[in-house]
Structure 1
């Protein structure tokens, strides 16, 4: 008569236990301050729904049940109120901390980009020397007004200022397009981030760029942040801040597959905004990218 809420790829609900190496954590939150696109709070539900379309085996890369290999569980959604930013951040951090303390890699499904900050706070407390690989069309390291410090474009500013990340080793990868204020690239550089634009990434090649990041990161713990607007709006229309000239689906998958060998301790996928999506395209692609990311975990 009753049916359990949908989980990612049909994995069991619950908190990580023995043998569980990764856990899905839904974060149904957006700041509610975007001038045109509010709706990323609905992202976790729609990504889970679209995950039905992503099979759990990859015959040529991992011919096994990928979630089962990791003992993947779905912890459900963090209980919070979208738009109440300063209330939500500690709740998200605590939820991620519980997953990390259980010995599992939290895989956050946002939500807008602001959710990355509390997830990085939780990871940094448990993994000193954390570095970030931020795949996004924006740096999200913008300056902020003291009276309104938190939004979906300042999370990496706070991460740097709070000392969450090892200095000089974190990258913004795939940055492109127009910005709402001047000086965003120098601002990111002043905070210790390296910025690799989409044009530079495509010119150099994914393997070469990531190899350089891997060498710099060495064996340090890595936080992987994947903003879905790194993709071109033609393949991921339902994102908070679409920017033309992005990666194709094939290019994004190829980039993800170069990330082997990194010591990934936490990750998130963010900015899927279902009210602006078309036939669930961005959510479906996000679910696929999460499955690709699961193959990176040992």
Structure 2
């Protein structure tokens, strides 16, 4: 088990320059250690069994039992970890220095029950309660979007009702689907019913596609959510939108939930319910970077389905988006 502040080594080489001036976990640099070597953890960070002593942790929730169309998201965390070997230590765009700011590690996966979705939700809720009890901020790799419901149950237990930045092609506010209340199309309906969300501090960005009614987002608006359909995002920067979102969210706790199908399937085909005419990766970055300064208490990236991701580019995009999420957490150091 790596010591606090140590970097992972392969032979006698490691990223000495960064690790010698840091008291945090520092992944090895590809300048010295081949990317293809070693056990796949998120960003080649150290693995530890619990969140104790961590400011933030990458955690996988490998389920697709709540999926309504293409399966495969249970393999998402593994593929994201594999593609994350491309990540480096600094954010060249924002000049964030996460490994000079936070103690971060990969704490593995929730031990889900692939035969029982309700039991899986209970396991997720209990696992995240344990993570949050340590003061650690979870950065979650899905898994299908069902996982947001039990995670937000745990988050609200600690922080009370939270604001939500929800990036998705779908509102995920259905009541009952095929007779079931729990699935990847229902998590935010359940969250509202249980008082987990501060509804005036909820924004849904990128919603699109065909619907089961003339206005598929009527319920969201009725709760007080701000709904930003994808047509409002076409051909423009989303930086002005995010300035408004920061005002909407204020200083209270905020959760960020990013479904990879928010991006157009030309960029991210490896997902379960793709919809055409989506956001670009650039807009995805603008949304996440636009969360800088918010009181983020948790983030997730869901719905990567490797069987439909033949090039690995969907998982690679997901890994980069998760890195960007880490780079906007509170206490982040930025170089001028």
So what's the TM-score if we normalise by structure 1? 0.92
2:91 counterpart residue number: 58
Q: What CA RMSD, in Å, does the superposition of the two structures yield over aligned residues?
A: 2.0
Deviates more, 1:174-183 or 1:84-93: 174-183
Counterparts of 2:106 and 2:224, CA distance in 1: 34
Is it true that 1:38 corresponds to 2:96 in the alignment? Answer: no
Moved more, 187-196 or 94-103: 187-196
SS of the residue 1:100 aligns to: helix
Q: Deviations over 1:78-126 (max 9, x none)?
A: 0012252100001111111111111110111100010110111110110
What SS class does the counterpart of residue 220 from structure 2 fall into? Answer: helix
Within 5 Å, which residues of 2 pair with 1:47-196? 47-62=80-95, 64=97, 66-67=98-99, 69-144=101-176, 147-180=179-212, 183-196=215-228
Q: Is the Cα–Cα contact under 8 Å of residues 91 and 327 in structure 2 kept in the other structure?
A: no
The CA distance in 2 between the partners of 1:67 and 1:135, in whole Å, is 26
Question: How many equivalent pairs are there?
Answer: 293
What is residue 52 of structure 2 aligned with on the other side? 17
Q: Distance in 1 between matches of 2:114 and 2:212?
A: 24
Gaps spanning 5+ residues in structure 2: where?
Answer: 1-36, 332-336
* Structure (1 or 2) with the greater helix fraction: 1
What is the CA deviation profile of residues 246-285 of structure 1, one whole-angstrom value per residue up to 9, with x for unaligned ones?
1222222222212111110011100000011121111000
For normalisation by structure 2, the TM-score amounts to: 0.82
Matched, 1:200 2:232: yes
Instruction: Indicate how the Cα distance of structure 1 residues 68 and 274 shifts in structure 2: closer, same or farther if over 3 A, else same.
Output: farther
Choose between structure 1 and 2 for higher RCO, CA contacts under 8 A separated by at least 6 residues.
Answer: 1
- CA shift digits 1:193-218 (9 cap, x unpaired): 22111121347741222222211221
Q: Which has the larger radius of gyration?
A: 2
What is the alpha-carbon distance in structure 2 between the residues aligned to residue 84 and residue 33 of structure 1?
13
